[in-house]
Amino acid sequence: MSPFTRIPAEAAAALGEKRLIVEIKRWLGKTSPPAPFGIGDDCAVVPSSGRAMLITTDPVIYGLHFDDSVPARAVGAKLLKRNLSDIAAMGGRPVAAVVSLALAANTSVAWLHEFYLGLAATARKYKVSIVGGDITQSPTGFLGAFLTLHGEAAGKRIISRSGAMPGDRIYVTGTLGGSLLGGHYRFTPRLVEGTWLAQRQEVCAMMDVSDGLAKDLHSLTPAGLTPAMRESAVPISAAARRCAMQTKQTPLFHALGDGEDYELLIVVCYRADCTKFEQAWQRRFPRLRLTQLGTFVRRDQLPEGAIQLANFSGYEHLKLD
């Protein structure tokens, strides 16, 4: 049986990423535990005899996550930082990583050298050990590096994506949009912020923004609820404004739809004292913006003038050619 089809309707791209994942979970049956212990959160939490272990995996692929314009060191750094961002999003501390390489036959040693220097520098900075991996030669000119990162809870708890309630506030770190202008590899994973947030009782759910706010917010939104946000609340990046001038789209379009922000999206409990929370943040992280985007409301209670998220889309991983 061939893994390929000429009939578009039979292709994974026609199903779409979201439905494909639903299918995969179904196909896996009982071997796929519920999130956060399995598919569906930023990291999988694996109970251990010691602290909870966190595992996450993300690749960098030539022509997709980087191209000739990105320095090789930045590619190696990005590979690890993408995964660190997932550990940060659960309030974890990274421990060790394995890297699996699929190399085109003509991959240059000099490029690989630079790639590994970038990976090593980032690993040192965040105290991650690179403990193993695998190398294969790809038969199609494909070049990709697949990293799996292992971490553990930094404090007493980890923060999953679920748990938002009506009235809970939605916060985001930094500014959003325009990562194509360089942010997609120059970002800083929010590890220090993530562990700090995991220790705050006000925080009840968290994730990182990797596919764009408009798409990722769905993962934080419980059934029956919807995020109520005003346009004026969205922290639009300078890069999003520059992108908008080139694309003739609005800056908001880029802030909500562009992927690879790698900022933290935080849900703060409706009972919490927001002012106290914001002041504590500002004392601890005076140089990193924290913005209240809005609140979760019941679907039938979306106020007039709120952003219609359905009008914005995030990054779709599978597309028909």
Q: Cβ of residue 112: shortest distance to a second copy, in angstroms?
A: 6
Binding to a second copy (CB under 8 A) within 149-178 occurs at 150
How many angstroms separate the CA atoms of 190 and 174, rounded?
Answer: 10
How many angstroms separate the CA atoms of 154 and 156, rounded?
Answer: 7
Query: Which among 188, 194, 158 has a CA at the least distance from the CA of 175?
Result: 188
Q: Which of 22, 135, 233, 238 binds a second copy (CB under 8 A)?
A: 135
Q: Which stretch, 50-58, 181-189, 192-200, 260-268, contacts a second copy (CB under 8 A)? A: 50-58
223, HSE (Cβ side, Cα atoms, 13 Å): 0
Query: Which among 296, 267, 279, 156 has a CA at the least distance from the CA of 202?
Result: 267
How many angstroms separate the CA atoms of 81 and 190, rounded?
Answer: 10
Task: CB nearer to a second copy: give 140 or 232.
Answer: 140
Q: Taking CB under 8 A as the rule, which mask of x and - marks residues 280-299 in contact with a second copy?
A: --------------------
Q: Cβ of residue 40: shortest distance to a second copy, in angstroms?
A: 8
Residue type, 101: L
Binding to a second copy (CB under 8 A) within 10-29 occurs at 10-15, 17, 20-21, 23-24, 27-29
Task: CB nearer to a second copy: give 14 or 306.
Answer: 14
Query: Which among 266, 271, 264, 265 has a CA at the least distance from the CA of 167?
Result: 271
Residue 180 binds to a second copy (criterion: CB under 8 A): no
Packing angle between helix 191-199 and helix 72-88, nearest 10 degrees? 0
Task: CB nearer to a second copy: give 130 or 288.
Answer: 130
Q: Cβ of residue 295: shortest distance to a second copy, in angstroms?
A: 30
Q: Residues with Cβ < 8 Å from 223, sequence gap 6 or more?
A: none
# residues near a second copy by CB under 8 A? 101
Distance of CA 292 to the CA centre of its chain: 19
Q: Which stretch, 54-62, 194-202, 236-244, 267-275, contacts a second copy (CB under 8 A)? A: 54-62
Binding to a second copy (CB under 8 A) within 56-85 occurs at 56-59, 61-64, 68, 71-72, 75
How many angstroms separate the CA atoms of 46 and 43, rounded?
Answer: 9
**Given its phi and psi angles, is residue 243 left (phi above 0), alpha (psi -120 to 50 degrees) or beta?**
alpha
Q: Taking CB under 8 A as the rule, which mask of x and - marks residues 94-113 in contact with a second copy?
A: -xx-xxx-xxxxxxxxxxxx
Q: Which stretch, 38-46, 184-192, 232-240, 301-309, contacts a second copy (CB under 8 A)? A: 38-46
Q: Which of 156, 283, 308, 321 binds a second copy (CB under 8 A)?
A: 321
